[in-house]
């Protein structure tokens, strides 16, 4: 079983915001939706746009390059559930947002 990796301090990502981070060599998009953290693969499957630099509205993030929109809780595209990005398990531990990459 893979382990959790500390990504950021909880205070580094306010509610309603997205952030691009690198965790164990992988680009990850982190999101804070009303105090709950979510993590997705950091690149949009369309053309590799940076999802962590996208526009977060509620629980949906839009890629800043071509506006492909994904539900951060599932990783599914809001138009076609067949288009997905990897979703990673997240926990908060001792003031850190931690991501399991496995």
Mean pLDDT score of the chain, rounded to an integer? 95
Residue 102 confidence class, pLDDT cut points 50, 70, 90: confident
28, 20 Cβ separation under 8 angstroms: yes
Residue 95 confidence class, pLDDT cut points 50, 70, 90: very high
Would you say residue 96 lies in a domain?
no
74 is in which domain, residue-wise?
Answer: 4-91
Would you say residue 97 lies in a domain?
no
CATH number of the domain to which 70 belongs:
2.102.10.10
**Predicted confidence (pLDDT) per residue in 48-59, tens digit:** 999 999 999 999
Question: What are 15-19's contacts with CB under 8 Å, separation 24+?
Answer: 16/56, 17/56, 18/51, 18/52, 18/53, 18/54, 18/55, 18/56, 18/61, 19/52
Mean local confidence (pLDDT), 37-51: 96
- The tally of domains found in the chain comes to 1
């Amino acid at each position: 079983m893979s382990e959790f990796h500390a990504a950021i301090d909880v205070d580094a990502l306010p509610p309603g915001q997205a952030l691009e981070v690198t965790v164990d060599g992988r680009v990850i998009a982190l999101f804070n939706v009303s105090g709950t953290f979510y993590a997705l693969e950091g690149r949009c499957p369309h053309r590799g746009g940076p999802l962590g630099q996208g526009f977060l509205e509620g629980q949906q993030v839009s890629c800043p390059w071509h506006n492909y929109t994904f539900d951060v809780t599932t990783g599914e595209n809001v138009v076609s559930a067949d288009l997905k990005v990897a979703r990673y398990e997240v926990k908060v531990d001792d003031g850190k947002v931690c991501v399991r990459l496995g």
